[in-house]
Structure 1
Amino acid sequence: MIKRGKNYDFAVVSRTDGKGLVAAYIEKEKNMEDNGDISIYSLFTGFTFDMNGIVAVTDDKQVLSSNSEELLSVKPGEYRDIFTPDIYTGDEHRMIHLESTGGSWYGEIKQMKDYTLYAFFPETAIYALRTKVVIGTMGVYILCWMTFMLVRGYVAESNMRQMEKQYHIIQSVSSVFSICMLLDLKKNTWEMIKASDQIRKMTGNETNTANMMKFFCKNTVAQSERQKFWDFVNPDTLAERLQGKDYINCQTEIGKGEWFSIMLVPQHHDAHGNVEAALFLSRNITDEKMREMDYQKKLEKSVEQAEQANIAKTDFLRRMSHDIRTPINGIRGMVDICRYYIGNPKKQEECLDKILLSSTFLMELVNDVLDMNKLESGQIKLEEKPFSISEILKEVETVVGMAATEQGITLTVKKGEINHENLLGSSLHVRQILQNITSNAVKYNKPNGKVILECRELPPKNEKAVFEFVCTDNGIGMSPEFQEHAFEPFVQENSSARTSYTGTGLGLAIVKKLVEQMEGTIHFVSEPGKGTRFTLVIPFLPDDSIEMQTEQTQSTDAVKGIENDKILLVEDYEINMEIARFVLENEGAQVQEAWNGKEAVDLFAASEPGGYDVILMDLMMPVMGGLEAAQCIRKLEREDAKTVPIIAMTANAFADDEERSLAAGMDAHISKPLDAEKLIQVISDICKKRKEHAKGDADI
């Protein structure tokens, strides 16, 4: 019911279900503004705030507006008793405490012109929010603290790993180096990490790096090395010298004869990459330095020896040119003289003897060079054949004695007590050793001089008979300087006296290598003007069999055994053909000539089986060489092609030449110039064995 004097709000809407309007009204509160506007009295009416808050507006006389009906019912003048401020210190805002039937409240006051605004919240809500804030703040703080601790732990662990790494590096370095110190290049200070007490004393009490290094340099480093040492460790330039390098090092002498290797290694760099600290490392390398210096001396000595060898070789070639031309000149001269004395047999005999002597000397020169080359290349293989030591001594006495008699020298050969007369070894090389030693004693002697060769057997060693050979002369002797090089190839003491002392300078070098190859020893003592004494000790296997005597008897009986033998002689050089033919026909052999390998193969193929008893084959010939010819003959389809003896007859005198000859199917190898007696002996032996073999096959 609408009352007079009251204010109402109306709402009118048309009906949807029929004709007409629907009107509604509500009486307005007395404290609300007219015309539907919100007034200060209705500002908070019906509002509900978060956390159950209460808001009130006063004009210092009464509560004008509030969302709490309890406050709106307060009479004017009484609200001050309700709002009893309880000021909290420590805050820039005032907070008041409100007690009501609803509990305890806390709020804040704001003055706005003529009005005062109060805002309150329950105590439980205030402290609940504060607890949440505190807990949240504590959570954030704990999270930050844990993050900080994790980061700090990671950094600490990383630093620890780096420190451990550096520690292990320093420990490893310290195990190698005897001195280890850290140099702070920025502060110019140093710290000793490892050193002996003696080294610590050498550094003095200086804390300044430069002063310490100067003290160490002055009192420890050898004077000749001080400037080099200081230039190396100078702290003023060290950072610059270490820039961009892993390390720098040097070697210096400390004290007397002690050498140290010093290494400087950069350790820390600043933000610009400059070196701030470095490790000073040092270790004793005296033994290494001594070995290095010894090696250097040996190297220098080797270079010196190589230079001397080169000089000696050059001198040898010069002497060889002289020594080869000398006998050739003698041979040609004697031929002219021999022609002049045609009809004078005695004078011609003298010329022929001198021609033979000159050719023998020329042959010895060539043999010496070949022997030395074989020894240096390891091509000489020592035989293990029976021989008599007494026979060797007799042969040496005979051969060298002739030269001694011509020069007026007395040669005496003495044989002491010998228990093993027959030995196994290389008799050829034993003879060569003794002949070279005694020949030198005769050659480098004085008029009416004496040479004594003594032989005696020493106590056995390792089941071998040991012999000592001593050759003593009272000749010109050797100077101390030459004695150091006496066993070197191509060396002679007096190269200017060529008319008195001839030779290649290879004799002693050959002797030494042969003796050493026989597992023996050789040494000498000599004094200029008084003579020389050589002592050789050589072991041999004893031979108790009678095989040697049997072979010697058979060889003697077989010397004249090629009469009526049919021989195919293959040679391309006319003079050699004539010489060989003469030797063979002089022994009663029948000779057929062939001038190259192809001709020899054709002649053999055209002959009747058994038409030739032996073939003498030169190796180097035109059209077809001897090796190829021998192989072709062995391949022919006839019975005697596989068995006919083929003997190589060549000027090639090296061991591999003989091996190639045998590999090509040849039976023997004879070197030129031909030794007539040896040639006949070889042919006789081979033909005899062939006949015995053929007879045995016939009996079967």
Structure 2
Amino acid sequence: MSRQVRTQMPQTQKKDKKSKSKGKKFDKNACLLMFILLFSGILIFLLLTASDNKKLNSTLNETFDFAKTRIERYENYNTNDQVKSLVRLMDKTTELSRVIAQEDNLSEEMLDEYANEQRLTGILVLDQNQKVTEQTAKDGDTMLLWQKLIESDYVCDIAKHPQKTYTTRLRNEGKLYDFAAVARQDAAGIVITYMQKEEVSELNGDLTMKSLFADFPFEMNGSIVICDDDKVVSTNKQELLSSSVEESKSLYKNEFKAGGNGIVCLHSKAGNWYGRKEKIKDYDAYIFFPESQVYITRNIVCVMYVLLALLLFALYWVSRNRTEKRSILQDQKRLRVINALGHAYSSISLVNIKTEKIEIVKSSRNMKPDQKGDILSKAHLEELIQQVITEPFQEKYREFIDMSTVAQRLEERETLSFTAQTVEGRWLTIIIVPQGYDKTGKLSTVLVANRDVTEEKEREIDRDKNLRNALAAAEHANRAKTAFLNNMSHDIRTPMNAIIGFTALATTHIGNTELVLDYLKKIHTSSQHLLSLINDVLDMSRIESGSVRIEYTTVHLPDILHDLRTIIQGSVHSKQQDLYIDTQDVIHEDIITDKLRLTQVLLNICSNAVKFTPVGGTINIRVSEKPCRRDGYITVVFSVKDNGIGMSREFRKHVFDSFSREHTVTENGIGGTGLGMAITKNIVDMMNGTIQVESETGKGTEFTIMLECETSGETVKREPVPELKGARALVVDDDAQTCMSVSRMLREIEMTADWTTSGKEAVLRAKEAYEQNQEFKVYIIDWLMPDMNGIETVRRIRMVVGEEYPIIILTAYDWSDIEQEAREAGVTAFVSKPLFLSELREVLMSQSQRELLKNEKQKTQAENRRSYAGKKVLLVEDNELNREIATAIMKELGLEVDDVEDGTDAVNIMSSAEGRKYDLIFMDIQMPKMDGYTATREIRTLNDQKCANIPIIAMTANAFEEDRKKAVKAGMNGHIAKPISADVILENLDRIFEG
């Protein structure tokens, strides 16, 4: 052991150095990764900043262009308005001069009348000395108001030159006026008119500088400020309007820093803004945008990049730690291997591949004294080989321990092993295990160990000898004939099981003539198939020689599928498998083909699916109709899919060969002749069809048969059922494909179809539809579903909708054993899978009379019920849905219902004075805080005798006899098994209150 420790130490040190070098390498990689991420982040930041600056400049240019356009529009509008007003005033003044010339006597009354008509503020009539001869004004004597203007040169000049006129708009005494002057036509002098103008504002609908940019939404929430000298005259920021430039700047730190491309950065109390100032006509325009909007793209992308970089760096460190842990585990594994080898192997050596130096860890008893030690030379090794290994194995042994090729051989394998015989007749197994690596990661040291395997080798030789003897005995017999006779039961048992099973059922139901007749038909069908199967198996040579003929007759597809289900149902049930048969787009149910051969083909495939699918597996059979290029023909596609043991890729090439069976089938003990698929392929070929197989080992197999069949010329009737045209229907099946197929059929007969794959959801949807007065008129429900079976689903739906609507059970099984229970639950009809359109329409057509009888019976029962109106009960139930259903049923019986969610609530109520008002308690058993038994015991111990002796009925899903006894022992007066019904509740009420 000391030698072993000594020889391992150098390797351990090498590994430590290697681990340290790896750690340094990882540190360099981490620095490199960090540098790359940092450099990439800076580059992205700069590129996005440049892009955002470019976008900002573009936005500023567009915004300044817009501002220029708006200001120009304002000035044009203002100028045009002033010119129009002055021209109109000049026309009125000229007309007044003409009117004065026509008047014999100029008077103030005439001027007043003219001023009112023309809506003038005032009129002045001057003589040649600019003295007022007549005047009128709404605001009194205005001579002093216009004195300076009258004395001006351009007004005085009109008297000297009558052809001249003068108009202007001016502000006088704080008011705005339009002023006009023309020469008098009746004498020397001047006629002056003036009109006071309203100030331009938003109220009178005029365009103003103040409203030019108010409330205008600028891109990126920017700000625009238009200044005239030192005053803000227009802006989209109301807090700056009408303030001075200095007052506006006080809102900011007044720090401007020049940026690139003419952009100015403005530092404010509300953050940084970017923009610039430009001169627009006589105005100074400032446009700025907030930094958060300018660089929003850069900021978002950079934040995402930082998060991504952190994620990458974290992933890198996780990967590094995992690699280091993996390396440590690998080293520990090697140490465990060496320790185990030290006990299990007779000799152990470490060999340096490059120098071929052999270091002995554990010596063999076959070594001579001069061969023992820490080092074994090549000469000693060769001598040891010749002494220990028998001559036939010596050369192969030398090749096995050739160190020049061992590294290459270990590239694809973890270990190398070789078994040789010693001169003493014993067997040795030699293994080579990688042990050490150099700095470049190449293999440098291996461990070589020997172990005595004589006992194992002798057992292997004996076993091989026995197998060879058994094989020789088997080959001596007539293999083909023996396999054929021994495996015939494979194809015979399936119809035989049906015959035996239905014979037993017929004996059990001998008094039911209709049911026995149905069983006899099925026995006859299976018998016919059994006869045809025996004939086909025995006459395989006739099929191969071409003497078998296909007999074409009109065949009803539903009969084919129902007969097929009848035959294989017994085998499916015995293996507890799920069988799904559905149709898709089948319009032509009557085709022309060979019914016997088609049944034989489908039965061969389905029987194999049942046989090669384990217990609890699934088998799907689908029939679909596809268009065909030939007139009067359709393509019928039969698909049989299972999730059984499947086939290997190699066997799929030979699956249709005679007597071909995969080895895994025989190993599993599954019988068969190996002729079924060969017969199937030959029949399909004779029917001018195709058959394909898709399979994978362990996942299952799917056979697809495509036949071009002539139609009988008739299609399925798709006229609507008059009573149900446009009505809603609900399809409930745990297979979505079946739901969609049945829904398509219902839509074909002009009904509205919904579907669900859950019984619980069906109950909720039925309740919702009933409450909204959009009831489902027909329910089609699968019998077997995982969450809630069909009968229970029907029972709960009946609690909601009553007895008014037909509910049809859809099943792939014989429903005779459940028919009575189903009828009591509210089922009105049964229909078999696979469901065809003709069958669905037929069962719906016969449903109306049955429903009338159901409704009449329900009315009679309702009239005979006892009345318990006024009785007050306490319902204790923790499940909301169960509580809602039970409350609805009890209220229909006239009971007044209060409900609580737990036993503790019931005990608290009954312990108070409020408990005396209740006549009965319906108590659930399983509740989260206090179960029903405990709650009952607590109530029975109350001091108030009325509350302590109140009748208590257990209402639970525990329906066994021991559960009833347990309820009575706890002090309960009755036991109702869920799901509850009105009749059961009435029976218990009659017993308690009337008994």
Structures share fold, TM-score greater than 0.5: no
> Which is greater in Rg?
1
- TM-score normalised to structure 2 length: 0.20
Question: Which fold has the larger relative contact order, with Cα–Cα distance below 8 Å and residues 6 or more apart in sequence?
Answer: 1
Which protein has the bigger helix share?
2
- TM-score normalised to structure 1 length: 0.28
